[in-house]
Amino acid sequence: MEKLLSIKEIVPDMQDWSCKVIVQEKQQITQSLSTPTKKQKLIFVDTEGSKVEGIIFNHDISRVGPILQVYKKYKITNAVVRPIDSKYQTAELTMQWILTSKTVIEEDADDEDIMPVKFNYTQFTDLAQYVDRKDKSVDVLGIVIEAQDRRVINKHFKESVVQKSVLVNEQSQAVMLSMWDDFIKNEGQHIIAEIGNYPVVICRKLKVNNYNGVALSTWFDSAILVDPPVQEARELKNWAIRNTKLLAAIIDEKSYIKYNPQISAKPDQKTILISNVRPSQKNIWVKARFSFQHIFQKYWYMSCKKCCRGTAAADGVIFMCNTCKEKHPAQPRCHFDMDLCDDTGAITASVFGEQAEKLLKFTALEIMDHFKQNIELPLEAIHKELESKWFLIHIKPVQAQMSDAKQRYTVIYYSKLLNSDAVDSPAESKNAESKNPTLLIELQSDTADIVTSGATAIQETKPASKARQCLTQKLELLADQANNTSRSVSEGSKKKSRLM
């Protein structure tokens, strides 16, 4: 006669046993990189709150997988029991049940209203410490208030589909969640169907990325529970129903697409010296001054209104963007290079959009008008003001190397520091690197860093002024000089290799 046991009582090699469990989560089907073996993992929980991992292999996935539905209760009999490999065990999961077509699985109609399970959620304000950590994942609880359109992209030389959603917590903080491939077809469909009812999700084993400071992404072993019968989820759903106007305002303002220092920056944010910045670092904070008066540049480029990538289209012209694959008007966007300097050195970084406009105190449209009218931007006061100011700056390395082989960085966020917060005894003299005329040429190819989307160029009917032609020629000359320098270095290395 079968024994109805709890999860804790079931051990390897046990015969004639049964256990009533709830399916807490069901992962996507995955395949090993080294073998053709396919597998699907589940997590079961019993009335005592104990958990065990279920696993289905290969052909049994199509036979057994559809039977087991998330949040349903089942009586499982005589599955093969084995310990999980010690390096993959957790405090909650030490045993594994292998489910095959021979395993007896019966649905139990006596479903409980609330799953007897507790999760350890990571607060949104604590996500920054896990950015780009391959060895760490996070569990979060949130309300999905908006889901964006799906996009097809090439990832690791393979075509993938991604869909971004907006998660909000009870503190009205928002973070972007990217769901990939099978998650879109499964949990994503469920979320879209319930989007008007503020679906609550428990997302497990997510990766934290450095996008707009902090963003979340599914991983191969992630799990997303939609409207789970868990007490915390029920409470958050009720909060959402009581605060529909607040959530609607978040959607209208679209504040979630901007950098949120409340989530990404800490009051006691740790920084490193400029001399210690390395391209291999993904999440970099520094205290530095801004300097760009020695850099000859344009300060704007024409961009796609949606994806901000460069285009040859004229201002206001609606064109098909080759990057986001949609039709949008072209508009000017502020962009320029600057040196980030402290007492130990300087690095070059690019700043874009509103943050760039805030530094220059000009909008992109005003900058473009100055350029077209051949009026130099009055930046003397700005340069003088920046000499004595220190900033807390969040930067990330640019993946694509430029023709001059000099590593570039992008400013994600900056904030002005009070004098007491700045580094001790800032150097009075400017860094010698910033004065080096050779460095001046190396820094000028910022426009080459802008990816151009396809569009029909609109010829201007008004001829350009001589001064403006001169400005354009200087920009082109500096870019050519950088390319020639790179080419000379390359040819020199080839000759050297022949001689050797």
Per residue in 112-154, pLDDT (tens digit) is 678 888 889 999 999 988 988 888 999 999 999 999 989 888 8
Residue 89 lies inside a defined structural domain of this protein: yes
Cα gap 350→371, rounded to integer Å: 20
Domain hosting residue 60, numbered range = 3-107
- The domain boundary residue, chosen from 261, 281, 300: 261
- The domain boundary residue, chosen from 261, 283, 306: 261
For every residue of the chain, which 3-state class applies, written as one string?
CCEECCHHHCCCCCCCEEEEEEEEEECCCEECCCCCCEEEEEEEECCCCCEEEEEEECCHHHHHHHHCCCCCEEEEECCEEEECCHHHCCCCCCEEEECCCCCEEEECCCCCCCCCCCCCCCCHHHHHHHECCCCCCEEEEEEEEEECCCEEEEECCEEEEEEEEEEECCCCCEEEEEEECHHHHHHHHHHHHCHHHCCEEEEEEEEEECCCCCEEECCCCCEEEECCCCHHHHHHHHHHHHCHHHHHHHHHHCHHHCCCHHHHCCCCCCCCCHHHCCCCCCCEEEEEEEECCCCCCCCEEEEECCCCCEECCCCCCEEECCCCCCEEEEEEEEEEEEEEEECCEEEEEEEEHHHHHHHHCCCHHHHHHHHHCCCCCCCHHHHHHHCCCCEEEEEEECCCCCCCCCCCEEEEEEEECCHHHCCCCCCCCCCHHHHCHHHHHHCCHHHHHCCEECCCCCCCCCCCCHHHHHHHHHHHHHHHHHHHHHHHHHHHHHHHHHHC
Residues 414, 355 contacting (CB under 8 angstroms): yes
For residue 467, CA distances in Å to 21, 374, 375, 460, 477 come to 78, 6, 9, 17, 15
Q: Based on the domain organization, do 189 and 323 belong to the same domain?
A: no
For residue 134, the domain's CATH number is 2.40.50.140
Binned at pLDDT 50, 70 and 90, residue 59 comes out as very high
Q: Based on the domain organization, do 312 and 455 belong to the same domain?
A: yes
Q: Does residue 482 carry a pLDDT above 90? A: no
What average pLDDT does range 418-433 have in this prediction?
A: 46
Q: Based on the domain organization, do 275 and 363 belong to the same domain?
A: yes
Residue 499 lies inside a defined structural domain of this protein: no
Q: Which of 192, 41, 19 is nearest to 106 (CA)?
A: 19
Binned at pLDDT 50, 70 and 90, residue 425 comes out as very low
pLDDT of residue 81: 97
Residue 117 lies inside a defined structural domain of this protein: no
Residue 205 lies inside a defined structural domain of this protein: yes
- Give residue for tokens 């169907």: 193
Residue 470 lies inside a defined structural domain of this protein: yes
Q: Based on the domain organization, do 269 and 329 belong to the same domain?
A: yes
Cα gap 405→400, rounded to integer Å: 10
Q: Does residue 453 carry a pLDDT above 60? A: no
Residue 495 lies inside a defined structural domain of this protein: no
Q: Based on the domain organization, do 322 and 438 belong to the same domain?
A: yes
The residue type of 8 is: K
Q: Based on the domain organization, do 95 and 212 belong to the same domain?
A: no
- The domain boundary residue, chosen from 233, 261, 289: 261
pLDDT of residue 407: 85
Q: Which of 198, 9, 202 is nearest to 95 (CA)?
A: 9
Q: Based on the domain organization, do 292 and 362 belong to the same domain?
A: yes
Cα gap 77→75, rounded to integer Å: 7
Q: Which two tokens stand for residue 373?
A: 């009218």
Q: Based on the domain organization, do 416 and 468 belong to the same domain?
A: yes
Residue 377 lies inside a defined structural domain of this protein: yes
Residue 343 lies inside a defined structural domain of this protein: yes
Q: Range with the lowest mean pLDDT among 37-41, 42-46, 268-272? A: 268-272
Domain count, the chain: 3
Q: Does residue 460 carry a pLDDT above 70? A: no
Q: Based on the domain organization, do 128 and 51 belong to the same domain?
A: no
Residues 97, 83 contacting (CB under 8 angstroms): no
Q: Based on the domain organization, do 15 and 85 belong to the same domain?
A: yes
pLDDT of residue 498: 39
Q: What is the largest CA-CA distance in the chain?
A: 97
What average pLDDT does range 352-373 have in this prediction?
A: 95
Mean pLDDT of all residues belonging to the chain:
83
Q: Name the phi and psi angles at 366, rounded to 5.
A: -65, -40
Q: Give 309's contacts (C-beta < 8 A, 6+ positions apart).
A: 303, 321, 323, 324, 450, 451, 452, 453
pLDDT of residue 111: 58
- Give residue for tokens 């009581």: 242
Distance, CA of 158 to chain centre? 19
What average pLDDT does range 47-72 have in this prediction?
A: 95
**Model pTM score:** 0.72
Q: Based on the domain organization, do 323 and 449 belong to the same domain?
A: yes
For residue 255, CA distances in Å to 172, 201, 328 come to 11, 21, 21
Share above pLDDT 70 across residues of the chain, in percent, rounded to a whole number:
81
pLDDT of residue 171: 94
Q: Based on the domain organization, do 93 and 190 belong to the same domain?
A: no
